[in-house]
Amino acid sequence: MTGFARSSGEADWGSWVWEAKSVNGRGLDARLNVPSGLEILDKAVKEGVSARFTRGNLQIGLRIEMATGGVDVTVNQAVLKTLMEAYERADGTMATGPGLATLMSLKGVVETGASSLRALAEQPDAIKAMQASGDALLDLLKASRDEEGVKLHDMLFGHLSEIESHSRDAVAFAADQTVSIQQTYKARIAELDQEGAVSDERIAGEIAVLATKADVSEELDRLRAHVETGRALLASDEAVGRNLGFLAQELNREANTLCSKSAILDLTNAGLALKSVIDQFKEQAANVE
């Protein structure tokens, strides 16, 4: 299911924003992007995802803005001292001016932001507040997906009603097909066997064989049963996305067999109409959790 949610908060040390989006997926895959040093939030949010969802590809991100005047810049004194001593041994003078500026620009000497976030990770109240905001984000995302689920329910239920209607049409056409097979075969025999060499018993036997091969009553019975199964799944409070996907495959199999056995245009058209609706049902079933 698709969905989008946003949750934010503020504190003395700064502000944060959670954002999450969900797209369709066969399984559940949650990918989080949280600032370095806050991995504890990554674990907590993933546990929340597993508790709420069973399918979907989720992208969840956390953005943090530290308050102005906070500890945004930190100098690693130990690293700087080691570099200055090495500079003095090599140059014979203390590092000042451009030399000191060069040392300060080296990676690991001056840290901006990351050190503040590491300090933030050691503040239980800050972590608790952002985790609560992350939980709220997941609740909002679930509500967004549930809202889409209501629309999908009505859409899928409508598709099942269409499948049922086309199946009823096919039942009537199937009866006409038996008559059509009989008339067509007798007309062909009369055309080829003008001397009457083929007995009526032989003709009746051949017609019976053809009618049996073209019989679609089992396929139509299974279509009706699948429709009832689909309605039961849609009425369930459980996660039924995978079951609906499997049901769509079964519906399509019966419609294909119906078309392959068809010997009259009306029944073929009914089978093609079934396939069209079933394709729509399958496409929407992929969106269901």
Q: Last residue of some domain: 112, 138, 170? A: 112
Q: What is the pLDDT of residues 116-156, one digit of tens each?
A: 677 787 888 999 999 999 999 999 999 998 888 888 899 99
Say whether both 124 and 193 belong to one domain: no
Q: What is the pLDDT of residue 71?
A: 47
User: In one letter, which amino acid is 195?
Assistant: E
Of 125, 142, 139, 76, which Cα lies nearest the Cα of 103?
76
Say whether both 204 and 166 belong to one domain: yes
Chain mean position to CA 88: 62
Q: What is the pLDDT of residues 64-100, one digit of tens each?
A: 888 765 445 567 788 888 888 888 888 788 878 887 7
Say whether both 8 and 134 belong to one domain: yes
Where residue 14 sits, what CATH number does that domain have? Answer: 3.30.230
Say whether both 171 and 264 belong to one domain: yes
Cα separation, 61 vs 78, in Å, equals: 34
Cα separation, 132 vs 8, in Å, equals: 10
Q: What is the pLDDT of residues 247-283, one digit of tens each?
A: 999 999 999 999 988 888 888 999 999 999 999 999 8
Cα separation, 1 vs 23, in Å, equals: 6
Q: What is the pLDDT of residues 5-63, one digit of tens each?
A: 999 999 988 899 999 999 887 788 999 999 887 888 988 999 999 999 988 899 999 99
Into how many domains does the chain fold?
A: 3
Say whether both 81 and 205 belong to one domain: no
Say whether both 228 and 157 belong to one domain: yes
Say whether both 80 and 136 belong to one domain: no
Range of the domain at 43: 3-70+115-146
The fraction of the chain above a pLDDT of 90, given in percent, is 39
Say whether both 14 and 78 belong to one domain: no
Say whether both 107 and 174 belong to one domain: no
Say whether both 234 and 120 belong to one domain: no
Say whether both 229 and 126 belong to one domain: no
Q: Last residue of some domain: 94, 125, 146? A: 146
Average pLDDT value over all residues in the chain: 83
Say whether both 161 and 270 belong to one domain: yes
